[in-house]
Structure 1
């Protein structure tokens, strides 16, 4: 079990487990894993926690997960055990009478009956797996199913497995899934996702289209495909999910789906260019080696029924790369491309850029090619992009005028040397109509910020001139860390940015005082920021030391968190002195890459009440900085919108 598993077992935070390992010599030693992500023996950990009086009564779900982890000796075995769990729950779902076989009689008799039942109900279990040897796990799974139902029981286990293998699978956020499904305005009979992953599109499609006849999916990772198939089967979905590479080894040749919807792999250089040069799916042109996304678009069109829709998540570079210009032009000329919808940054957290949704339609015999395309940019509507995009699409289908962030562009106007399909390029009118309302909002924001400035300045009356006196004894952050007064938390060396869904506070976020804009794959070694943590920049040119107001995201590269016990040490006091040290490092640095050593930052040794007084003073200075920054930003926006509005005629002077 991992440190995160220990924390769940004991009902504590991840940091508490780190403290136990550091402070207790008798804490069990790791039995596997790596130096940065060790694993421990479940039996040894339970014994230690029991001796220490720290063993909480874990919920049923945690007990079953730990039992499953104990059965699996490694990742390969865990994959097989997960397959058994899915197969068993499928058999139990189909035949609740299995519980009787498990509850009565010896294990060998129950094992024989269980093996026959599981094999009879599913072929998704590896042939080498010894079903009869895992009666205790089967009984635990049956108890979990009794409490939560078979579908929710497996969904919990699958979620834990995916967390354990977070770098393998990236999940499309449900709001984006629902948006993409909403482009299909008629009930489809067949829905296909050729890169289905964990089955997000197929699962939601079952809810959105209750009369769907077939949900088809293909996933390159065999274990993920198997788990997705089990999950859909347990929910009664008319689904078929196959393992394999859709481009190289299509599991559904000849399939004509009413809706093809997918979030395919991006920037895949090994998509099969050499092997698939003469493939008949490339009806609109051979995809360039570096344009795997254009291969997925044409794969979707090849599997769409005449008149069927293809809705694909696409990175923005595909809209204007020169290498893909001919295929983009052909998609336009033949009327296959119907809409490009730009999403806000962060809509898909594991992407460093704002992605787009491309909506295509396979032309039906006798159709007149479309002569225009919908272009919409919802980047300015981060909280309402779904409504804006669907409204624009339905207006387009109904022939109604567009408004706001959408426009209809004639195909002939797109067929130039670039064939640039970036929506923002085709919306020059977007900012002008909105300038009047935007100007009013920003002016009100500026007025509010300006009103806050005098209060922030008045609050500085707390600071009075001093005649000096005895200098207090000084110490360093490193010495306090050695004494256990505080913790210095570094960024996990395993963090890989823009590859997952966990929000990450970046150095730029900390510098501007904003929320997280980065993302990473979840990992138990990541440092999660807690309320009252002090966030410090390691880069000398960015002298930042700020107290976190609430529990928040993962700590990003270039940052350090200093964690104190607020009952013993005032965080604002420590943050103030850290900021002084960071400013000094900035002044001394001669290169842009100079580092600030947090451990060497100096601060005075003071009683808690004096720390609190200093902390209040530092906090008031920080409030002044925030007020100044807010006023400056609002002022810049008002200036830009005012000039733009007067120039466009959306603002006029009135006497």
Structure 2
């Protein structure tokens, strides 16, 4: 184990915001570049302090990011022969102490290292036992004595938590405008831990594929408000995190350390004032081969199990009591083994919801198990979700909903809902899915409205809700029992009726003509062909530039980042009909990307809402008060933290004014006398301005917003450029509206001709 943090060439490139090839060039061209201190010839490692000093001397790094310093200390503490996430458990224990007993941490932090090395482990153990109970504290396996690196890590974690709770992202020393003099923003230990878990998940994407918050919230909403919930494949706990902390949350994971991280995550997202031990319990072990809760049942079971497991225990589980009537799932149907496991742990009348690959509904090998689920009345709904709802993001997963049968329950109907169509996906350039490609508010409303109406009819003996062509259909279980027992919604849901009538088609055509006519000539957007005119020449690549971070420090620009965002819920009324809610609107990153008005509203205090893990926020504070209370104003610029090329100016009098910030959004508030908002937004839409400040994960591009460079221009030239940027943005928005309308019109014409509801038009006359 190294005695000081070391970094690889890839990590150096991340620090400097460059490609790995640039680091190789520095090593060749600069004789003073730090020498390797470890690793191999093919993958050397360098001392972090030496690299950071060299980068600062070269003007390539103003200051090593706090998160990077914490991460490198964690890497230093990692045992090469141990679990790679073991140091994260120690970090989580420190953050738990800071979360539950901040006064005790403040007293300990003032102690000298010689005393802190023994006092801090005792405090961590006592806080863990009080919060998680004796078994939870024992699962953390905390050391009894801390070394100097561990003490440095503890102090940096406290700073990271303070920065996560600070009003300005990445700058914990900047006080919120309007805050009382000398006040300190509340530390956000949960937000700090989320940053570490995100970094760990990105570095281990092949082993970890967490369920995104939106999908987790959908499963939790389907379950209602259960008193006890089990997730037998917990991972980092996203499904349990989507539930209110008042519920008894139980889980199991085959990886002990991953389960410990999930336990700490749930504890950190529980309000600090909730008395312990918390109603949270996670056990280690493979849930199929070594069931951690034998004989126990719960009101709800939520799960996204591992897929395509060939060695799930088929041979040793032939006579397991979890298989109904001794019907053993086939060797190649591990997902159905998980379905039966979840159903066995659901108490009669309780609900189980699982995210499964679509092949589980169709594979011939699983026909007998599917038939048994239909005959018993356990299977209640199969929902086809759009690609991008959950990993693997390129596959349109299915949501299975089951109710454990009660004696005398003879309900034998199944809801089949097809939400895999393009109407639930954000228009894109054809790139493979991701959670930013799904219209979650529409998807959530559609699924929950249909499921709740169907489930109410099943429980109360009411008439079933009418079918909705193209979306959902209720079928008798007996009608699904055949040689295949195919449960795919796309096979059974009748297609939607095409847009009807010549009048409606004519209206669509007229609207499309109007939009295309309003575009004007693209040549009007081109600059004056005269050479050397306009502010563009002054803003050339050789001109002076300034970073966003420098503008923030100078006071010309205020910067806020939402992190996990405020607690939010979809904008729908209590009846679930999708009517807009009254209340504070909440802008999501998807709203900004798609150019839509706010799709959510602020959740009541204490609610988990529509953003898992948003309790406490992560720095969305502003001049109006505490964290999470920032509201948009005319002239603000909104930029998503993930992705690139998107920036929107908040117009006066529009629906964006007065909105709170959802997850993963940056808000920039320029001084209009010194920095034009349209100019600022246009620069963020420029590839050249953002490419050096972007970092790449396995499936996303994250923008380090403080490092974005802007040209230094007088305000008059900024406004001239800003006006041009605004015209280009308006042209693009109109073009996207026209493209969406054209797709609707062409699909309606195609469907009408294919079904015979429209006559074939006469061929055009030959000239």
- TM class by smaller structure: 0.5 to 0.7
More contact order relative to length (CA 8 Å, sep ≥ 6):
2
Is the CA contact 1:414–1:420 (under 8 Å) kept in the aligned structure 2? yes
Tell whether 2:230 aligns with 1:189. no
Q: Paired residue for 1:401, among 466, 482, 498?
A: 466
Matches within 5 A, 1:444-593: 447=513
Match of 1:199 among 237, 246, 255: 237
| Structure-2 separation of matches of 1:88 and 1:347 | 34
8 Å Cα contact 1:529/1:555 also seen in 2 = no
- Taking a change above 3 Å as real, the CA distance of residues 444 and 77 of structure 1, as seen in their structure-2 partners, is same
Q: Of the candidates 81, 87, 97, which is equivalent to residue 81 of structure 1? A: 87
Partner of 1:44: 50
Matched, 1:387 2:445: yes
Match of 1:124 among 121, 124, 139: 139
Query: 2 CA distance for matches of 1:556 and 1:199?
Result: 21
Map of 2:727 onto structure 1: none
2:404 to 352, 359, 362: 362
Q: Deviations over 1:353-404 (max 9, x none)?
A: 2111000000112322x22110010122312222111111122123321324
CA distance in 2, matches of 1:250, 1:71: 33
Question: In structure 1, how many angstroms separate the alpha carbons of the residues matched to 2:356 and 2:262?
Answer: 23
User: Max radius of gyration: which structure?
Assistant: 1
SS class of match (2:152): helix
Farther off after superposition, 68-77 or 108-117: 68-77
What are the Cα deviations for residues 82-137 of structure 1, in whole angstroms up to 9, with x where unaligned?
Answer: 222122333444444243234223x2322122233333433233467853452222
Q: Distance in 2 between matches of 1:429 and 1:51?
A: 65
Structure 1 unaligned segments of length 5 or more: list them: 460-514, 516-527, 533-546, 558-566, 568-625
Q: Would the aligned equivalents of 1:258 and 1:309 in 2 still touch at CA under 8 Å?
A: yes
- 2:285 corresponds, among 244, 256, 262, to 244
TM-score, normalisation: structure 2:
0.57
The answer to whether the 8 Å contact 1:395/1:401 transfers is no
Q: Which has the higher helix share?
A: 1
Quote the Cα distance in structure 2 between the aligned partners of 1:119 and 1:630. Answer: 58
Counterpart of 1:426 (choices 483, 492, 496) is 492
C-alpha separation in 1, matches of 2:106 and 2:698? 48
1:316 shift after superposition = 0.8
Take 1:86 and 1:555, find their aligned partners in 2: how far apart are those partners?
23
Q: Distance in 2 between matches of 1:114 and 1:41?
A: 28
Q: Distance in 1 between matches of 2:696 and 2:87?
A: 31
Cα RMSD, aligned residues only? 4.3
Gap change, CA 1:92 and 1:455, over 3 Å in 2 = closer
Counterpart of 2:262 (choices 228, 237, 243) is: 228
Secondary structure at the residue paired with 2:223? coil
Does residue 219 (structure 1) correspond to residue 261 (structure 2)? The answer is no
Structure 2 counterpart of 1:295, from 307, 321, 337: 337
Check the 8 A contact 2:228/2:250 in 1, yes or no.
Answer: yes
1:259 to 291, 300, 303: 300
Q: Identify the residue that residue 59 of structure 2 maps to in structure 1.
A: 53
After superposition, the C-alpha distances for 1:190-230 in whole angstroms (9 at most, x for unaligned) are: 01111111111111112xxx542x10111112221111111
Look up the SS of the partner of 2:757 in the other structure.
helix
Question: Which residue number in structure 1 is paired with residue 175 of structure 2?
Answer: none
**Whole-angstrom distance in 1 between the partners of 2:8 and 2:190:** 26
Alignment of 1:310-329 (within 5 A): 310-329=352-371
Name the CA shift for 1:30/1:302 in 2 (closer, same or farther; >3 Å).
Answer: farther
- 2:657 is matched with none
- Correspondence for 2:419 among 378, 400, 413: 378
User: Can you list the C-alpha shifts for 1:573-631, whole angstroms capped at 9, x where unaligned?
Assistant: xxxxxxxxxxxxxxxxxxxxxxxxxxxxxxxxxxxxxxxxxxxxxxxxxxxxx9xx999
Aligned to 2:681: none
Assess if the C-alpha contact under 8 Å between 2:230 and 2:302 holds in 1: yes
Q: 1:630 to 1:2 in 2, by over 3 A?
A: same
Gaps of 5+ in 2: 1-6, 129-136, 164-186, 271-277, 425-438, 458-463, 526-593, 595-641, 647-685, 700-709, 711-735, 762-767
Q: Offset at 1:283?
A: 1.1
Query: Residue 471 of structure 1 corresponds to which residue in structure 2?
Result: none
The CA deviation at 1:320 is 1.2
Q: Label 1:41 to 1:638 Cα distance change in 2 as closer, same or farther (>3 A).
A: same
Distance in 1, Cα, partners of 2:740 & 2:91: 54
Please name the residue that 1:348 is paired with.
390
Distance 1:556 1:68, change over 3 A: closer
Aligned equivalent of 2:104: 97
Q: Does the alignment pair 1:149 with 2:188? A: yes
> Aligned-pair distance for 1:441?
8.4
CA 529–59 in structure 1, closer or farther in 2 if over 3 Å, else same: closer
Q: Report the alpha carbon displacement of residue 428 of structure 1 after superposing the two structures with TM.
A: 2.5
Q: Secondary structure at the match of 1:131?
A: coil
> 1:163 aligned to 2:163?
no
8 Å Cα contact 1:242/1:251 also seen in 2: yes
User: SS state of the match for residue 424, structure 1?
Assistant: helix
The CA deviation string for residues 21-49 of structure 1, in whole angstroms up to 9 with x for no partner, is 56545433555567887643212212212
> Displacement of 1:180 after TM fit?
1.4
